[in-house]
Amino acid sequence: MSKTTWILVANSSHARILCNVGPKKGLKLVKELEHPESREKRLDLVSDRPGQNSGGAGNGRGAFISQTDPSKHEAENFAAEVAKELEHGRVTQGYARLILVASNPFIGVLNNRLGGHVKAMVSDTIEKDYTRASDKDLSRHLEHCIYL
């Protein structure tokens, strides 16, 4: 297996997977993922009106109310997509170590989607949104857990 470290930098709408192959080698982009639906306003994610319910007990009329927050649902969809990429990297032996850098609460949503084998490869977790950080700034934030 390679000595490559993957670094996932993510929030609920954008993710970058970067790699480092050793000291003084810097960061290289492996893949970038976008999920624009997570940036949509809540009202744009649901239909104009709730569905109608004409059956059941009571006065016979009512409306279906969404059980799940649409933005949370989109974050879960994106977390599943990111987890799939990380699993694919693990299976193809693309990395030996994984560092997760993700915003709160997306880090929790992502952790719920990661399989046990991927979780076992996580060496560090940083609960920050560095998706807009330059590679130089990101390197500075990661210097405590990786030699860049």
pLDDT in tens, 9-64: 999 999 999 999 988 888 999 999 998 876 665 555 454 445 555 555 555 555 55
pTM above 0.75, yes or no: yes
Region of 55 on the Ramachandran plot (φ > 0 left; ψ -120 to 50 alpha; else beta): beta
Judge whether 26 and 13 are in contact, CB under 8 Å: no
Q: Which residue has the higher pLDDT, 112 or 52?
A: 112
Which of 6, 2, 50 has the alpha carbon at shortest distance from 27? 6
DSSP class of residue 63? E
Please count the residues of the chain: 148
pLDDT of residue 50: 52
Question: Which amino acid would we find at residue 116?
Answer: G
CB 81 within 8 A of CB 37: no
Task: Name all domains of the chain by residue range, CATH numbers in brackets.
Answer: 5-37+69-142 (3.30.420.60)
**What average pLDDT does this structure show over 54-80?**
70
Residues 6+ apart with CB under 8 A from 126: 99, 100, 101, 102, 141, 142, 145
**DSSP, residue by residue, 90-146:** HHTT--SEEEEEE-TTHHHHHHHHS-HHHHHHEEEEE-S--TT--HHHHHHHHTTT-
Decide if 8 contacts 82 (C-beta within 8 A): yes
